[in-house]
Homo-oligomer: A and B are copies of this chain.
């Protein structure tokens, strides 16, 4: 139905089609390196996630992709996200009840969530060097950890 996503994505931004092509190739290579078949839908989901920093839900990604023309089904967005998660290209972020958000930034980092507007913001890993996991009680084998900070973002803090 769809031609390769890398072709169908060429429009949109008016400048830098050259670098967009390069970015598309990078994505293709990344997917292949993880032994994932490069399908238009999977490509689109990953490209969309790489393109934003707002930790969208599956539903938001779906809506975004189908904005102009239908390109992907609900089920496919979910399975694409699962596949990308399984190979470690995206990670799930659990900050609210009920929904699962996704993040293509897999470098270790922490999260801040505004209690008022719900906005999520990354916090650089280096800001919390003090954490010393050696002090964990013996027996637990730590694989990763993450700090969740809640409060008010600047905008909501000013408004209140």
Contacts and interface: CB of A to CB of B under 8 A. Distances in A.
B95 A94 contact: yes
Number of copies: 2
A106 interface: no
- Chain A, interface residues (CB within 8 Å), range: 35 or more
User: Which secondary structure dominates chain A's binding surface?
Assistant: mixed
Contacts of A149: 133, 136, 140, 142, 144-145
A157 interface: yes
Contacts of A128: 130-132, 135
Interface in A103-155: 112, 115, 121, 123, 127-133, 135-137, 139-154
Interface of A: 92, 94-98, 100, 112, 115, 121, 123, 127-133, 135-137, 139-154, 157
